[in-house]
Amino acid sequence: MTIRAAVAGVGHYLPDRVVPNSEFEKSLDTTDEWIRSRSGIERRHFAAEGQTTSDMATRAARAALDDAGMTPGDLDAIIVATSTADLTFPSAATMVQAQLDMNHGFAFDVQAVCAGFIYALCNANALILSGQAKRVLVIGAETFSRIMDWTDRSTCVLFGDGAGALILEAVEGEGTAEDRGILAADLNSDGSFRDILYVDGGVSTQTTGYLRMEGKEVFRHAVEKLASTATTALGKIGLTGDQVDWIVPHQANIRIIQGTAKKLGLSMDKVVVTVQDHGNTSAASIPLALSVGKQRGQIKPGDLIITEAIGGGLAWGAVVLRW
């Protein structure tokens, strides 16, 4: 008998304000056509004034709990992947815990920028496999609109806000690739690339800062590293790209998504794509895509899913799971 961390529920939340590309034409030297053709993004959601990451995370969490038919009392732990927590401390995860009226268990944040949800899934998986938790709520939530330089057309048109949540539960498996749940993972980082994607502020510099990115450089690393980490993760459980039902990639740029699918030998009809509607929501993009993919009827029980992401660090990785 093998313990697996299997998906028990999924949900998401997007703030009400939808901003089409045309909005940026009013204040920047840019066009809807440029943004669409270079990134695939058509619109994104922005949080309302005063709306925080933990507010959105809690709404996504409630949707996932409803989907699982669970209450906060059923959870042992909460992990929030975010780079835009409400406060320096306490963690966004403990704020979610409080908003859910949950006084037991434990909660903490994971910060691996756009790869954050992959890292959080691996943490949750480890907690379940080691017997420290049976049910873990894993959330990706971001308010990247708060760290945009609205005068920088090369970054501010690309990002959005939102939250997605997944509940992982300990189930019994056979130890084969036919099991439900997380089957394999691969994590990587290389801090020597810190200068191509970062925020130029933080607590120890007493500023908040803005996101800075050398887009072309990040793009160049993205396709190669994402295809490589996905192949490595699949290989750990003896699988190859052609056995995958769905790729659920980090939603940064449609050209990166297409390039990665091509390298894995998969056609675009096996890819869950939400970048046109959400923009890049960093750590929230994968759980948002999983939830929307399920709502659309794309992801079904038993499907083999590879999910992968790369972001600031650089940090990147992939998780193989059977839904």
Positions marked active-site: 114, 250, 280
Number of residues that bind ligand UT7 (CB under 6 A): 20
- Of the pair 26, 216, the CB lying nearest ligand UT7 is at 216
- Out of 120, 218, 305, 321, which residue is the one contacting ligand UT7 (CB under 6 A)? 218
- With residue 256 as reference, give the H or E element that holds it: helix 254-263
Residue 216 touches ligand UT7, criterion: CB under 6 A = yes
Q: How far is 169 from 188, CA to CA, in rounded Å?
A: 25
Work out whether strand 161-173 and strand 2-13 pair parallel, antiparallel, or are unpaired.
antiparallel
- Tell me the window of 160-168, 202-210, 228-236, 251-259 that interacts with ligand UT7 (CB under 6 A): 251-259
Percent of residues in the chain assigned helix, strand, coil, to nearest 5: 40, 30, 30
- Tell me the window of 33-41, 42-50, 224-232, 262-270 that interacts with ligand UT7 (CB under 6 A): 33-41
Q: Is the peptide bond before 314 cis (omega within 30 degrees of 0)?
A: yes
| Minimum separation from the CB atom of position 77 to ligand UT7 (A) | 26
Give 322's contacts (C-beta < 8 A, 6+ positions apart). Answer: 6, 177, 178, 179, 180, 181, 183, 302, 303, 304, 305
Residue 215 touches ligand UT7, criterion: CB under 6 A = yes
Residue 261 touches ligand UT7, criterion: CB under 6 A = no
- Out of 253, 274, 298, 307, which residue is the one contacting ligand UT7 (CB under 6 A)? 253
- Of the pair 93, 314, the CB lying nearest ligand UT7 is at 314
- Out of 77, 110, 222, 244, which residue is the one contacting ligand UT7 (CB under 6 A)? 222
Interface positions, 119-178, toward ligand UT7 (CB under 6 A): 153-154, 157
| φ/ψ (deg, to 5) at 175 | 85, 15
Residue 38 touches ligand UT7, criterion: CB under 6 A = yes
Give 123's contacts (C-beta < 8 A, 6+ positions apart). Answer: 79, 110
- Give strand pairing partners of 247: 271, 306
**Residue ranges in contact with ligand UT7 by CB under 6 A:** 30, 34-35, 38-39, 114, 153-154, 157, 215-216, 218-219, 222, 252-253, 256, 280, 310-311
